[in-house]
Structure formats: structure tokens, C-alpha cells
Amino acid sequence: MSESITTKNVTFKVFRFNKDTDYLPYYKEYKMEVTSEEVVLDILNRIKWEHDGSFSYRRSCRHGICGACAMKVNGKGTLACKENMLDLVELFGDEIVIEPSSIKRAVKDLIIDKGDFWEKHDQIQPYLISEIDEHPEMECAVSPEESERLLEADLCIQCGACHYSCPVVELNEDFIGPAAFVKAYRFEADVRDEAHNARLEEVGLPSQGVWDCVKCYECAEVCPKEINPIEKITKLHNMIFDAGISNNKVAERHAVGFAHSIKKHGLLDEAELVRYSEGTVPMLVKHGKVGFKMFTKGKVVMPWNMPKSDKLDEIKTLVKSSMTSKY
């Protein structure tokens, strides 16, 4: 405990809003001296206790377990009880903006309506589905190896940090979102679960499902429990192919198209990939204009000019021998 405590003067701009009485939100400024021992939640408490008793936010466990205190500091999603305040000052400078996880869902100050988050969970049957013998003769044992397959998806505290950092959740209200995908994976990977295809079909549907993920890695970056949701999303993609329930939709053909192209050229034939994924006519309708502009600028390689990797035979051999999926 010999490390000395440091302090810093910080200006906090805090999101304030009461859905019942305010037409628009506003930011209230508080200047405070912050010590290196304080986490963000300490600052929120001080605002409430020393400045304005009506300031509202959720918290409960204060130990990164309940997931109630998720919010954003200068746009970075975090748990208020976990993140050291001065670490954030180091990152963002001494003007700190504190906002709810999702501004458009704000109800009172940092408290949001998390209804959509729970609805998405409901949608993927977030529980074990299994015919249970009411009078079992022995326990249903799960080996350590089998439980490792969950890849710690079961450690999710449902704080919503990933969900409300996901750009697709922000734009498309049908999108199931990273947290519910994690939950879907948690049960799909459970050896006792028997729902399999029903749940997988749900997470594979266009617009709402895994194919609409833009692969931005925001969810992996933000998760305070280091759960890496996009890793689970990739696993769900793999499971959909393995279960043979992918049905030739654009996105699925897009993923498979890579393997075809690599086998042929080593490289990706960009134009051919689009054609294979979408079909010739939809491709021309959707991309014809942009494609033509690109062509005039020398950005389209004709099939007869397609470059090939050297030692293409090696690539062909490996594609043949290492392929683990069939389509």
C-alpha cells in the first residue's frame, strides 16, 4: 500500500434527462477533484450526495457482478464500478463526458429502458431445452472439456455494454445483437441442450441474425467480462453450416464463395464473388451503376486478367485437404 495517492481536477459533463418532464436532454457540468483510488461509480455517488440528490443511475453490487451500472464515458462503454476514473482521464483528458449506455433509450439521467435487450434474449430461448427424466438413475454429468466448449459464454452478466455499443443494434431494430448471440451460443454449445436447429434457425435469419453483423469488434472491445461476443458469433456461423440449415442466402453464399475463389485463383475474384453471392441479375440491378463507374476508373479486373497466386497447386492441395465444412 506504499503507492501514493494522486489527485486531479476534472470537469464532468453529465447527461441529464427526465423523460416525464424534459423535452430535451442537457449536460450539467461538475468540477471535482478526483483521486487515483476512485472508480467512476464513486464520482456518480459524489454527484448525487454532494450536488444533486435527484441524479439517477443504476448500481447494486459494486463488484462488476450485477451488470446494472453499465454506462458510457466519452463514448466508451464501461461498468461504472469497475473502471478507475483517472485511467479514463489519462485516456480522454480532463474533460469527461458521462452518458447512459444508449441515449435514445434514456428514461432518467443514466437509467435506460433496457426492454429491447431482454426481448432479444426471449427470442433465442435463453434456457436449456431438454427432455428431463423425472426419476433419473444418475446425474447428467458434463465433463470439464465439454464445459470448456462454452468459451466462458456463461460468464455474461448481461450488462448490455456490447449490445449498446453495437452499430447494427443502433441502426436495425430487428438485429438480435451480440449479448443475445452470446446467450444463444451458450446453449447451442451445451452438450445437454436439445433445441439445436430451432435456435440456430432463429439466429440465422436475414436482417435479425448473425449475417448482419458488420464485424466491427466493438462488442469484443467493450465487454467488461472479456467474453468476446464476435468469437461466439463466428461459432454460430460455423454451427449453421455444420447443421446444414444454411439455405443459399446471399450471406451464406458470400462466405462459401471465398473458398471457391481461393481454390481457383489463390486470390479473391471480387466481381465473381458478388455474382456468385447474389446472382447475375440482382447484381447488375444493385451494383450496376457503381460497378460501371469503377470499371471506367480501372477498378474492375476482367476474368481473363484475374491475377493468380504463385504456387497455386499448394493452395489447391490445402483447400482440398483442410476443408472441414461441406456446402
Write each residue from 224 to 243 as x if it is in contact with another protein (CB under 8 A), else as -, in one continuous string: ----x-----x--xx--x--
CB of 265 to ligand FES, least distance (A): 50
Query: Is the Cβ of residue 25 or residue 64 nearer to ligand FES in the bound state?
Result: 64
**CA dist., res. 58 & res. 111, Å (int):** 6
Please choose, from the candidates 84, 77, 121, 120, the residue with its C-alpha nearest in 3D space to the C-alpha of residue 100: 77
- Whether residue 109 contacts residue 101, with contact meaning beta carbons closer than 8 Å, is answered with no
Does position 104 interact with another protein (CB under 8 A)? The reply is no
User: CA-CA distance, 286 to 290, in Å (whole number)?
Assistant: 9
Do the Cβ atoms of 210 and 199 come closer than 8 Å? no
Q: Which is nearer to ligand FES, 128 or 155 (CB)?
A: 155
| Identified binder of ligand SF4 from the candidate list 32, 43, 86, 161, rule CB under 6 A | 161
DSSP string, 93-137: -SEEEEEES-GGGEEETTEE--HHHHHHHHHT--S------SS-S
Q: What is the rounded CA–CA span in Å between residue 233 and residue 230?
A: 5
Minimum CB separation from another protein for residue 293, in Å?
Answer: 5
**Which listed residue (95, 172, 177, 245) binds another protein by CB under 8 A?**
172
Q: What single string gives the DSSP state of each residue in 18-36?
A: BTTT-SS-EEEEEEEEEET
Quote the least distance from Cβ 159 to another protein, whole Å: 17
Q: Which does 307 bind (CB under 5 to 8 A by kind): another protein, ligand SF4, ligand FES, none?
A: another protein
Q: Residue 70: which H helix or E strand, with range? A: strand 70-73
Q: Which of another protein, ligand FES, ligand SF4, none interacts with 229 (beta carbon under 5 to 8 A by kind)?
A: ligand SF4
- Quickly tell me which residue has 471535482 as its cell: 32
Q: Binding residue for ligand FES (CB under 6 A) from 47, 67, 102, 185?
A: 67
DSSP 11: E
Window 225-264: contact mask with ligand SF4 (x via CB under 6 A): x-x-xx--x-------------------------------
Q: Which is nearer to another protein, 97 or 129 (CB)?
A: 97
Region near ligand FES per CB under 6 A, out of 56-64, 117-125, 129-137, 236-244? 56-64
Strand (E) or helix (H) holding 261:
helix 250-265
16 close to 27: Cβ distance less than 8 angstroms = yes
Q: Does 255 bind another protein (CB under 8 A)?
A: yes
Q: What does the binding site for ligand SF4 look like in residue numbers (CB under 6 A)? A: 156-162, 166-168, 178-179, 182, 213-219, 222-223, 225, 227, 229-230, 233
